[in-house]
Structure 1
Amino acid sequence: MRTLNLLHLTHKNVDPDGFAGVVWGREIFGGSLHVDSPGIVVRRLIERFKISTSPTVKPDVLFIYDVNLRERVGLPEGVELKRYVIFDHHPKYEREFFEGSIKFFHKPRSALVLNLFDYSEKAGLHLSDDLLLIFAVALVTDTALLRTATGEELTYLGYFLKKRRLEEVFEIIMRGRLSRDILKRAEKMRMYN
């Protein structure tokens, strides 16, 4: 029996939530992943975890994460959008794109990683600590550095962090900017009695 070649990909200009999706897919289903124009935080994650982001073979099936519109898919050169599975969380999506898939998994939420974590839990799948840290980075960035986070999202953040400190997430996101921002805020602070 021939094994299918799977390729995990996300949208163009990859953010941490889309990146978390492709890493999750590779960890759960196998295959390779493609990252189209990663942002700075994603480049830090790739470097930190030494993740290969180039497809190795021509894919039979695409697994697409964090994409609600066909035109946003970050396809590698020479790969066509034919047989695909979608994992998404956006409230609005292109109906034709989703209906053209082999299967789609869609639940509107603030971040895709919440859905992926739930799918994993329901299936009894173990997620690596490194992947959970990537999930934490994705959730923090998708909630505007926790400014828009709800109680549910903070609960999930606790699951993702396990025994790690939130500081580790911010160090990946900010890398050096954090201390400068704190100093600027401290300079502007005034104490009142």
Structure 2
Amino acid sequence: MNQWKNFSKGFFKDNPVFVMLLGMCPTLGVTSSAINGLGMGLATTFVLVMSNIVVALVKDFIPEKVRIPSFIVIIASFVTVVEMVMQAYLPALFEALGLFIPLIVVNCLVLGRAEAFASKNTLGSSVVDGLGMGLGFSMALTMLGAVRELFGSGKIFGLSLFSESYGMLIFVLAPGAFIALGYLTAFINKVRKA
């Protein structure tokens, strides 16, 4: 039962984006649409879960002096897998996310969970934690992308909800990411405290 507590905390209690404010680079950089946010979130979730699995399995064999560099190599290996699979099977999404895919390696959410959780807990707990945090990150990026896409172009996931004349250009641009993130963070924190 305790494992499911770890799973659910990534959605609201300790959401990586809205509560802990981690991973701001991809959060603000790729969320111009809901599909980009979802794609980046799921890619990060895969890397997070897989690196947590490997770290939980090899934690006792890694010397203390090379622990962090070892974790980065493990994370980079899974980022390379994600990058190659996206490039082969999802070229449009790969093109849209661009440089932000390799930056998953240095995402403090992924490295932080490997260091703070997977290196100190069991395999099962590490998988559940990775899934919870990763899916919470995916939810946050998708929400932010949906809000920006809706207000910026009147669409969600590319489906038109309003006429073509609708749209506030600021939400498509970088300042819109900050505005939408601020309002969503305030809303999520208000809901959490209620």
Structure (1/2) with the larger helix percentage: 2
Q: TM-score, normalized by length of structure 1?
A: 0.26
Q: TM-score, normalized by length of structure 2?
A: 0.26
